[in-house]
């Protein structure tokens, strides 16, 4: 009986010793950084969707504030490109919705202006009327600002702001934030620079 008890005790001690031993830690290789593979998604006319921002063929989007009434944040203008097109997305926030958009993309010196030098959104080559949208996307041929070159974007909008009861509380003009097109005064229409990325 003592032998049996001694054997059981010896076996339990050996088992306990080996179960507490730690194996040498493995040398871990650092994980490779995750690749950003999300593609830029073009949002068609829709009521409540905003743009999904991600890279497109290696070109990361640029974003400026969509300014309403010279001082209010009404959303964003997001721009990116691939080898074929430039994508310009208007997206609203803070209760604002789009009723009209006018867009110029190209040579800064060719933005349509009147004699005093004020921009004329009605003569911008890309335009549309919208049924109170939160987002709208334009697809522009890359020839307007070829890959590797720079130009200007003038993004104009007519916006309505709604309260929580879905009542219109104000209507304003909006522009993608940048520098004034008419530097000598006049209206507050703005442009911003965009350099087309050369896709990977």
Return d(Cα 147, Cα 144) in angstroms, integer. 9
Return d(Cα 146, Cα 140) in angstroms, integer. 11
Torsional class of 3: left (φ above 0), alpha (ψ -120 to 50), beta (otherwise): alpha
Tens of pLDDT, residues 118-168:
999 999 999 999 999 999 999 999 999 999 999 999 999 999 999 999 999
Residue that is written with structure tokens 């442009």 in the block: 191
Structural contact between residues 173 and 159, judged by C-beta atoms closer than 8 angstroms: yes
Q: Which tokens hold the place of 164? A: 């929580």
Return d(Cα 199, Cα 94) in angstroms, integer. 34
Share of the chain above pLDDT 90, in %: 66
pLDDT given at position 8: 45
- Give the chain's domains with CATH numbers: 62-195 (2.60.40)
- The pTM of the full predicted model, rounded to 2 decimals, is 0.73
Coil vs helix vs strand at 7 = helix
Return d(Cα 152, Cα 154) in angstroms, integer. 7
Q: Beta partners for 31?
A: none
pLDDT given at position 57: 63
Residue that is written with structure tokens 């939160």 in the block: 134
pLDDT given at position 58: 62
pLDDT given at position 200: 72
pLDDT exceeds 90 at position 34: no
């Amino acid at each position: 009986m003592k032998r049996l008890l001694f054997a059981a005790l010896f076996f339990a001690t050996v088992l306990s010793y080996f179960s507490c031993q730690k194996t040498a830690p493995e040398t871990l290789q650092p994980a490779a950084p995750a690749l950003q593979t999300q593609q830029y998604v073009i949002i068609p006319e829709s009521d409540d969707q905003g743009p999904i921002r991600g890279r497109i063929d290696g070109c990361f989007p640029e974003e400026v504030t969509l300014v309403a009434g010279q001082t209010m944040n009404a959303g964003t203008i997001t721009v990116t490109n691939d080898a074929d097109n430039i994508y310009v997305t208007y997206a609203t926030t803070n209760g604002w919705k789009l009723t009209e958009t006018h867009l110029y993309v190209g040579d800064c010196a060719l933005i349509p202006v009147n004699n005093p030098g004020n921009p004329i959104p009605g003569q911008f080559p890309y335009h549309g009327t919208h049924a109170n949208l939160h987002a709208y996307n334009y697809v522009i041929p890359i020839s307007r600002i070829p890959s590797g070159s720079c130009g200007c974007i003038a993004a104009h909008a007519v916006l309505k702001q709604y309260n929580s009861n879905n009542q219109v509380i104000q209507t304003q003009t909006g522009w993608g934030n940048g520098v004034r097109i008419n530097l000598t005064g006049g209206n507050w229409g703005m442009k911003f620079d965009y350099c087309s990325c050369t896709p990977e």
